[in-house]
Amino acid sequence: MIKIAPSILSADFSKLGTEIQDVEQAGADYIHVDVMDGHFVPNITIGPLIAASIKPHTQLPLDVHLMIENADHYIPAFAEAGASIITVHQEASPHLHRTIQLIKQQGVKAGVVINPATPVEMIRDILPDVDLVLIMTVNPGFGGQSFIPSGIKKIEQVARWRKEYDLAFEIEVDGGINTDTAKLCTDAGADVLVAGSAIFKTQNRQQAITDIRQSVKKVD
């Protein structure tokens, strides 16, 4: 069963609690929380305070995608805020192994993410240590961008390594996911689909999630 992780970046921030309850009732599996610092990416979003304030509004795991420099400095605060998964960018983590261990020491699942221009080989050595691998199919920073197809080959390669090394991490994909692109990712081996605008920019979130689930089942 494919998991759906609505990205609250495209939600109405003036009523985040009800937006999150809406997608939970609509059948979401994770709540994807995009954290941006205006340095690693050219946008600023939310910090641990907001993560902590949305936590009581949902039973779903908070899937925290850190797009920030100096992640080590903020990881304890996001763990304290109630994150279930914290994912850090390889490109922003000079001591990636140490950062992954720091996340795990907080009792939180640890993920690693790569940008569209980063070769998948860059995360090969960290695979035995992570619970989740996130492949970006847009340049991080904004919702509503177009899908960059080079991520498909990376999903396939990570899925091959998972099998070859007998590992159990989840493969997540993020950026431009909709009913046209979701199946390309799940056919390649993705288990978790992040979708922001395709879910939150619609009136009927249940229909949007059902449509994405149906689209990945279609036989070509």
Ligand X SMILES: O=C(CO)[C@@H](O)[C@H](O)COP(=O)(O)O
Site string (158-197) toward Fe ion, x via CB under 5 A: ----------------x-----------------------
Q: Half-sphere exposure of residue 171, counting CA atoms within 13 Å on the CB side? A: 26
Q: Are 132 and 170 within 8 A, CB to CB? A: yes
Beta bridge partners of 36: 67
141 in a labelled binding site? yes
Q: Which residue in 67, 65, 58 sits closest to 29, CA to CA?
A: 58
Q: Which is nearer to ligand X, 61 or 143 (CB)?
A: 143
- The verdict on whether 131 is a catalytic residue reads no
Q: Are 188 and 175 within 8 A, CB to CB? A: no
CB of 166 to Fe ion, least distance (A): 28
Q: Which is nearer to Fe ion, 45 or 99 (CB)?
A: 45
174 in a labelled binding site? yes
Rounded to whole angstroms, how far apart are CA atoms 218 and 78? 38
Q: Does 177 contact ligand X by CB under 6 A?
A: yes
Q: Known binding site for substrate: residues?
A: 7, 65, 141-144, 174-176, 196-197
Q: Which residues are catalytic?
A: 34, 174
In the complex, which residues of this chain contact Fe ion (CB under 5 A)? 34, 65, 174
